[in-house]
Amino acid sequence: MKINIIIKIINEYGILWCFYRILYLLKIKFLNINKNSWKFFERKTDIKNLNIFDIDIKSLEKFLGNLEIKYKNEILDKANKAVNGKIYAFSKNILDYGNPMKWNFNPITQKETNNNKMWFEIPDFNNEIGDIKLIWEPSRFCHLYLFSRAYIISKDIKYYKAFSEQIKQWNINNKYPYGANYKCGQESAIRMINILMNYTVFKNYNLISEEDTKNVQEIVEGSYKKLVSNFFYAEKCVKNNHTISELIGLIIGAWCENNDKRIKKYYNKLVKQLEIQFKEDGGYIQYSFNYQRLVLQLLEILFKIENKINVRIENKMKQLIYKSVIQLYQLQSSNGNLPNYGSNDGALIVPVTCADYRDFSSTIRYIICFYNKQKAI
């Protein structure tokens, strides 16, 4: 029976994939046998700069100021819940992580993982603790956009204080390489993006303290180190939205350490992944509109920083991305929703509109506008 399963896996994934997967399993076993050996796999990082995102605060103030009262109240209500540790997990369900927040906690099972264990010591599946994604969800820091938007609308300092306190407590309770929140490279990349964007918003209002900067720098350092030191798995064994997430995180981290060599290296890898993962008609390898949108949002971020990283996306890649967006545009209904096609975990990594997470129109609009602007240049 086991032989039949092995043959099936080899036929489906190929011998090379199986070889890389076995190598990774051996690495994890080796790390667990000799816990001090983790340093052998680590790569040097040196985060120097956190200002990769340029955010037009005046435009944001104008946009949010013109929202209808009901939408402003919705943002404030969600932000107030997040201040008290109640997070809209997976874009839909309110889960209570406590106040102060418990960063290694599953609110469904009411169990916590041990943040004194290194990430490779914590199993992917644990029946007692439950789905590890429930632990990871608040550490993506998607709810920080609620704090930024609520502050822009109300100018109430409590939203900045919530941002400051939560990144402080996260940093205290999640020291690299310890804890479940460093198990996944994609989670580390999303965390970097969301913290850096919202750090920039509050910095524009001269609210950021030296302690905030120190905490953000340490979180980015640990998250980036996780990516640099463990990208092998995402590159060789995964090849889906996780790989692209990690590459965007690696490019951002490389810029933050002023490392042009690494920026070019990871950008070239990103181009190869886009060629592998997007089909000629714009379809996405995972056959999921939600994951297709997730990748397109990541590419929105790349478009946002391309002047900073001094790397231009090739025309071939732009056309491929444009085809993917047009495919979604042609399939969406008048309210912006698409059919619930493929896997859907509610992922919306940059939630900056009042629309439901199944409304794809903002992502579609942005990339079409970007493409047409680039075409005109």
Q: Which two tokens stand for residue 60?
A: 């944001």
Task: Give the HSE-up count for residue 287: Cα atoms under 13 Å, Cβ half-sphere.
Answer: 1
Return all residues near 4 (Cβ < 8 A) that are at least 6 apart.
Answer: none
- Residue 71 near residue 151 (C-beta atoms within 8 A): no
Residue by residue, DSSP assigns 176-198 as: TTBSGGGS-HHHHHHHHHHHHHH
- Residue 282 near residue 325 (C-beta atoms within 8 A): yes
Q: Which two tokens stand for residue 65?
A: 């100021």
E strands of the chain, at which residues?
A: 86-89, 93-96, 105-106, 111-112
- Residue 332 near residue 338 (C-beta atoms within 8 A): yes
- From CA 278, how far away is CA 233, in angstroms rounded? 20
Q: Using N-to-C axis directions, what is the helix angle for 69-83 and 158-173, rounded to 10°?
A: 40
- From CA 350, how far away is CA 144, in angstroms rounded? 10
Residue 140: count of CB within 10 angstroms of its CB: 23
Q: Position 133: which residue type?
A: K
Q: Position 282: which residue type?
A: G
pLDDT per residue as tens, the chain (377 positions): 477 777 787 787 788 988 999 999 999 999 999 999 999 999 999 999 999 999 999 999 999 999 999 999 999 999 999 999 999 998 888 999 999 999 999 999 999 999 999 999 999 889 999 999 999 999 999 999 999 999 999 999 999 999 999 999 999 999 999 999 999 999 999 999 999 999 999 999 999 999 999 999 999 999 999 999 999 999 999 889 999 999 999 999 999 999 999 999 999 999 999 999 999 889 999 999 999 999 999 999 998 898 899 988 778 888 889 999 999 999 999 888 989 888 888 888 888 888 888 889 989 888 888 777 666 55
pTM > 0.75: yes
- Residue 133 near residue 178 (C-beta atoms within 8 A): no
Residue 21: count of CB within 10 angstroms of its CB: 16
- Residue 341 near residue 287 (C-beta atoms within 8 A): yes
Query: Could you state, in order of their start, the residue ranges of all structural domains in the chain?
Result: 1-40, 51-223, 258-377
CA-based max dimension of the chain: 64
Task: Give the HSE-up count for residue 119: Cα atoms under 13 Å, Cβ half-sphere.
Answer: 23
- From CA 124, how far away is CA 126, in angstroms rounded? 7
- Residue 151 near residue 186 (C-beta atoms within 8 A): no
**What angle (nearest 5°) sits at the alpha carbon of residue 10, between those of residues 8 and 15?**
175
Backbone angles phi, psi at 122, to 5 degrees: -90, 125
